[in-house]
Structure 1
Amino acid sequence: MNWNWNWNNMQVAESSVIACVGNVYQAAYDPILWPEAVESLRMLFDGSRACLVRIGPERRPDDLIAPNNDPAFQGRYIAEFADEPNIIEQAVARAEVGSAYSDLRFIGRETLRSSRLWNEWMAPQDMYGGLTCKLASAGQSTWFFDVQRGRCQTSFDAADLDLMRTLAPHLSRAIEISRQTRIAQLVSTSLSHLPFAVMAVDAGLRILASNAAAEQILSDRDSGLSQRRGVLATSDVQSTIKLQRLVVASCAAESGSLPGLGGDLLVVPPAQTNDSAGLAISVGPSLGAGVPTHALEPCAVVIARRLSQQLPAGFDDAIAQVFELTPQEARVGAAIAAGQSLKQAADLIGIRVSTARTHLGRIFSKTGTRQQSQLVALLRSVQVALPRK
């Protein structure tokens, strides 16, 4: 494509446009570069001012990126104009996402120049007419780019508006990339501070990524979970086999198969301490349907949490609520989760073993488990949601 526009006998070369688009996409992945990208766009349009703005709730100073603005005026915009409807933002709200327009025509020259925003904020900064592009909307937030020309400059013409419309898809795409990158960073940061071990593993149990809590558990030789040459393993062969089956099902490792729902596993460490009841492990698919995976092999998420031998207060009430158990079933389930045998549970509660066995069968049905080890792992996972004393 040949990008050349005539601005008052000035040529805008294709190389300049490509350089600006490159700056925008670089900023999409590194927000520190947004001021530089906005400044390159201002220069491309020969503008007096340019800004990238988010409008919506909870405004912050960095929601207005205007690299060559007076800091005092920029702070004043957030303090005085951001929390009340102003004529520029009302126009953006009416526009379609991806559209570009001249503010003098879309709003009206006289309407714009009679507004408080123009008289007290725009005109003092030599902003006498601009082009605006509505880039994206998500929830209550909207993003737009605006470039202005000053009092002594020639107004933007049709060629300038065509250039803005050509750049609009790239700006919109860059904002979406920036949002998704930031969301991914927030999730990653949040995961690193969770009290659970979180790991991404492939179908061969090779660890692809892990958070700080996972590193702590893997480095503890008595935790029941370890890594050997980057491959996840439990303290016994049978548990490792069960773990791999859950991971393989979640990874959909076999061609054409659908991802499984994963499952739960209780891993008992080889040398239990007085307060250690092992690790409750949950496995599930890492990606939702329709997410491209061409740059990543199939993988699953493994979440592990240390369990205390001493169950927290209110444990039976919690599992009753989560799994819709009767009070008697919950007491049997809590006793089993605490390491009691069925006979010990019956004696503790004061019922017959046959009655306890009936309750246990109903608990299996309601929790969707078949083996007592699965049941214990699932019930103990409820500890995660209970307050620790």
Structure 2
Amino acid sequence: MSVPSIDTVIATVDSLLEGALDDARMPAAVEQLRQLFDGSKACHASLGPGLSPADAVSTNSDEAMQRRCYTDLSDEFLRFGDALRAVPVGTVYRDGDLFGLEALRASRGWREWMAPQDMYGGIGCRLGESRTRQWFFDVQRGQRQEPFGPSEVALLQRLTPLLRRVSMLSREVGQLRLQRDEARSALDMVTLAIILVERDGRVVYVNRSADDLLSGPDGLLSLRLSRLVARHPGDQRDLKRLLEGAFGARDEFGGQRSSLILRSDREETQSLSICVVPASPRRADRPSPERLLIALKPLGQVDEIAASSRQLFHLTDCEARIASALAGGLSLAQAAALQGVRISTARTHLARIFQKTDTRQQSQLVALLQGAVPPLRGPL
């Protein structure tokens, strides 16, 4: 093999680091490695129980052939992993030396998978392990190519620390993505609308409840060009001051206002409570927040209050409607008129509601019911 130029090696290194941070770029990185070693095939993979296509990135891949790794040939590859465990982490090995060339060529894995893909001799390096799984890089030469020599082994040995770091980064990034996805799923289950805003005003995340709230045609807030915008100019000025004050605060908002209520002028639209808090703890070198977490809650969620009061306090349908009307801000007379009953009947219902909820005053009842709306949505 001719000695690769320093530019070619650096380009391969850059590609590998990009692949560690972005799965979509890893196939191109592995292909550059194959070209660097003039190989017939290259693979960056992990081995362990429960093999799946996500465990390997290979060049020159035939999909039907690749599927065999994880189905009828999986036992062969798990045995390969057992043999690989004998190789110290960070060490370069030759396939023939590791398994014995005759034993390797007699194996089903070589006859049915390696030989059909022109894999007649390879070198690899063991990159690490975690519990029952381990990572390695392997590059092969074809039947009509010269076997790998000392210079290729030396080059792979020089690259092994980098490949180990790439594997570690890939695992760490994968774990972070998993945690991110789990956090998003959890936030989507919360009935409270949650929004994450950058210092420049861009909205970078909304949970499912916030998306539902902001996408309504008559809502008090909406998203325009990734910015949070209030429907009324006066509300927009108040919202802007609220966010600017929160971003400029250096210690617990420094006495700045951290909440706001947008009042609705339409019966079909609920008023909206807005609360802002820093999205992450302050640091000595960054006393003011870089991002804000905004919590939105429609006020007087009558339907949800009625449903939760029936479930939690065993109220009848009529009692639940009276209770939810009171929790929504109506007086007892207004609640009676809304339900089409006499005020005396509404008082009877209210007495039973007090008994079932263990409250004595309307203010106590309203506070209890408004806090009883379940904080989690149903299954997504």
Q: Normalising to structure 1: TM-score of the pair?
A: 0.62
Q: Within 5 Å, which residues of 2 pair with 1:225-374?
A: 225-226=221-222, 230=227, 232-233=229-230, 254-255=249-250, 269-273=264-268, 277-279=270-272, 285-287=278-280, 297-302=290-295, 308-311=301-304, 314-316=307-309, 337-339=327-329, 348-350=349-351, 356-357=359-360, 372=367
- CA–CA separation in structure 2 for the residues paired with 1:132 and 1:267: 62
Q: Which residue of 1 aligns with 2:19?
A: 27
1:93-172 to 2 correspondence within 5 Å?
Answer: 99-102=90-93, 104=95, 107-109=98-100, 112=104, 115-125=107-117, 126-134=119-127, 143-150=135-142, 153-155=146-148, 157=150, 159-172=154-167
Using a 3 Å threshold, how does the CA distance of structure 1 residues 16 and 377 change in structure 2: closer, same or farther?
farther
> Is the contact made by 1:234 and 1:267 (CA closer than 8 Å) also made in structure 2?
no
Change (3 A) 1:284 1:299: closer
Mapped contact 1:38–1:52 kept (Cα < 8 A): yes
Q: Offset of 1:134 from its aligned partner?
A: 2.8
Per-residue Cα deviation, 1:66-100 (whole angstroms, up to 9, x for no partner) = 2224444323223323377622333456778x734
1:42: Cα distance to partner? 1.3
Distance change >3 Å, CA 235–CA 143, structure 1 → 2:
farther
The question of whether the paired residues in 1 share the 8 Å contact of 2:306 and 2:323 is answered with no
**CA distance in 1 between partners of 2:39 and 2:376 (Å):** 56
**1:336 positional shift:** 5.3
The amino acid across from 1:348 in the alignment is H
Structure 2 contact 245–253 (Cα < 8 Å) conserved: no
The Cα of 1:236 is off from its aligned counterpart by: 10
Distance 1:84 1:278 in 2: 64
What amino acid maps onto 1:201 in structure 2?
A: V
Within the alignment, does 1:50 sit opposite 2:42 as a pair? yes
Q: Which amino acid aligns with 1:350?
A: A
Q: Report Cα offsets for 1:223-259 as digits up to 9, x if no partner.
A: 232579945548797999699879977x7x5336699
Q: 2:36 and 2:231 mapped to 1: Cα distance?
A: 59
CA separation in 2, counterparts of 1:220 and 1:172?
45
Change (3 A) 1:30 1:270: same
Partner of 1:222: 218
Rounded to whole Å, the distance in 1 between the matches of 2:375 and 2:210 is 18
Matched residue SS, 1:68: coil
Cα distance in 1 between the residues matched to 2:349 and 2:96: 82
Q: RMSD of aligned C-alpha atoms?
A: 5.6
1: distance between equivalents of 2:123 and 2:93? 6
1:147-185 CA-partner distances (Å, limit 9, x unpaired): 223455334545144223243245225524763686599
Q: Please show how residues 68-79 of structure 1 align to structure 2 within 5 Å.
A: 68-79=60-71
Letter aligned with residue 134 of structure 1: L
Structure 1: give runs of 5+ residues left out of the alignment: 1-6, 321-325, 365-371
Contact kept, 8 Å, 1:224 with 1:270, in 2: the verdict is no
- 2:341 matched residue in structure 1: none
Match of 1:209 in 2: 204
Structure 2 partner of 1:199 = 195
Shift of 1:43: 1.9
What residue number does 2:79 align with?
Answer: 87
In 2, Cα distance between the equivalents of 1:244 and 1:83? 64
Measure how far apart 1:29 and its partner are.
5.1
Q: How far off is 1:65 after superposition?
A: 2.4
User: What is the CA–CA distance in structure 2 between the aligned matches of 1:285 and 1:77, rounded to whole Å?
Assistant: 48
Structure-2 change in CA distance of 1:306 and 1:240 (3 Å): farther
**CA–CA distance in 2 between the matches of 1:61 and 1:190?**
25
1:383/1:218 CA distance change after superposition, 3 Å? same
| 1:203-226 Cα distance to aligned partner (Å, 9 max, x none) | 79x343355975774465632325
Cα deviation digits, residues 323-381 of structure 1 (max 9, x gap): xxx889xx8986754545589897534269797347966x99xxxxxxx5xx776544x
Kept in 2: contact 1:128–1:148 (CA 8 A) = yes
1:223 is aligned with what amino acid? Answer: G
Instruction: Tell me, yes or no, if the aligned pair for 1:267 and 1:278 is still in contact at 8 Å.
Output: yes
Task: Tell me, yes or no, if structure 1 residue 175 matches structure 2 residue 175.
Answer: no
Q: Is the 8 A contact 1:307 1:383 kept in 2?
A: no
Question: For the pair shown, which has the larger CA radius of gyration, 1 or 2?
Answer: 2
8 A contact 1:281–1:304 mirrored in 2: yes
2:4 maps to 1:12: yes
Q: How far apart in 2 are the matches of 1:80 and 1:149?
A: 25
CA contact (8 A) 1:49 1:149 kept: yes
8 Å CA contact retained: 1:280, 1:378:
no
| More off after superposition, 38-47 vs 98-107 | 98-107
| 2-structure distance, mates of 1:191, 1:298 | 20
